[in-house]
Amino acid sequence: MRTKLPASWAVAIAAAVCLVMVLFAALNQAWGQLARFQAKAQALQASTGAITEEIGILRRDIQELKTDPRRAADHARLHYLYAKPDETLTIIHRESSPP
């Protein structure tokens, strides 16, 4: 013979099931957010490595420009259109071609 549970027990069990479902949904959402944060952290670490490498290259370039007069002169000629006293600078303007 089966005994019937009191109504208060049924309400308590239903509340417990609802609580477990809410906690499961919250935990599932937190795991998804954690995965997104970990992916973003990995992407940031990769870009940090690339930026660090670029900084090293730029620092070496700066050091070379400070210590090598020939390199500084080549840089000035290329980027600032400087010419030596005995040179004539000719600038050729190319029109852009239509797309």
79-93 per-position pLDDT tens digit: 888 888 888 888 888
- What residues contact residue 70 under an 8 Å CB cut-off, 6+ apart? none
Q: State whether the Cα torsion 61-64-66-69 is positive or negative.
A: negative
* Domain annotation covers residue 87: no
Listed in sequence order, the residues at least 6 apart from 73 whose beta carbon sits closer than 8 Å to its beta carbon are 82, 84
Give residue 74's domain range: 16-80
The verdict on residue 3 lying in a domain is no
Given a cut of 90, whether residue 98 has pLDDT beyond it is no
- Residue 99 is predicted with a pLDDT of 61
Residue at 33 is within a domain:
yes
Count of helices and strands (H, E) across the chain? 2, 0
Confidence of residue 78 (pLDDT cuts 50, 70, 90): confident
Cα separation of 33 and 40, whole Å? 11
pTM > 0.75: no
Dump pLDDT digits (tens) for 50-74: 999 999 999 999 999 999 999 998 8
pLDDT beyond 80 at 34: yes
Number of domains in the chain: 1
CA–CA gap between residue 31 and residue 57 (Å, rounded): 39
Of 2 and 83, the structure prediction assigns the larger pLDDT to: 83
Which are the contacts of 31, defined by CB distance < 8 A and separation ≥ 6?
none
Q: Is residue 94 part of a domain?
A: no
pLDDT on residue 96: 76
